[in-house]
Amino acid sequence: MRFNFNTENWKFKKAGSNILPAHTIDLDLSPDADILLQRMKPKTPYNIKLAACKGVSVTSKGMEGMDTRYELYTETALRNRILNEMKYSEAVLAAKAQDRRSPADVRLLIVSYGDMPLAAMFLAITGSRGSSLYGALRLRRIVT
C-alpha cells in the first residue's frame, strides 16, 4: 500500500528523502541467548564470541556519550551526505526525560575496542519492541 493512500485531505506528505531504514526485521528476543545464537547462521555466533574475546564491548551511555556518538555519526553522515546538528541527536536521547508520559525508553549504545569507539546507535524500546535508530560506524581498519 502506498504511504500517501487516502491522505490528500490530511495535509500529510512523505518527505523528499529518507533518514530511517526502509526495512524492518522482527526478532523475538524472549528465548534464551543460547537458543538465539543457535538460530543464527554459523559464522555469526562465532564472530560475536571472537569479538568478545578480542576485547570488543558494548556499553549503554547517557548524555556523557554524545560527543563520542556525534564523532562516529559525523564520519558516517559525511559518507552518506546527510548531516544533522548534534542537538538533533540530543533531542532523541532526551525525549523520555522531557515527556514522562512517553512509553519509549531511549538508550545510547556504544561499541568499543579498548578505548576506541567503533559504532554507536540509539535503541528505542517501546513495550516489547526495540528499534535501532541512527546508527554510526567507523570504517577505519583496526590492526591487532
Structural domain containing residue 113: 55-137
Question: How many distinct structural domains can be found in the chain?
Answer: 1
Residue 14 confidence (pLDDT): 63
Residue 90 lies in a domain: yes
Look up the CATH number of the domain holding residue 85.
Answer: 3.40.630.30
Q: What is the CA radius of gyration of the chain?
A: 18
**C-beta of residue 20 within 8 angstroms of C-beta of residue 80:** no
**C-beta of residue 76 within 8 angstroms of C-beta of residue 133:** no
Instruction: Report the predicted TM-score, pTM, of the whole model to 2 decimal places.
Output: 0.68
Residue 20 lies in a domain: no
Residue 26 lies in a domain: no
Residue 79 lies in a domain: yes
Residue 128 lies in a domain: yes
88-115 per-position pLDDT tens digit: 666 666 666 455 566 678 888 999 998 8
Query: What average pLDDT does the structure give for the chain?
Result: 78
Q: Rounded to whole angstroms, how far apart are CA atoms 133 and 138?
A: 16
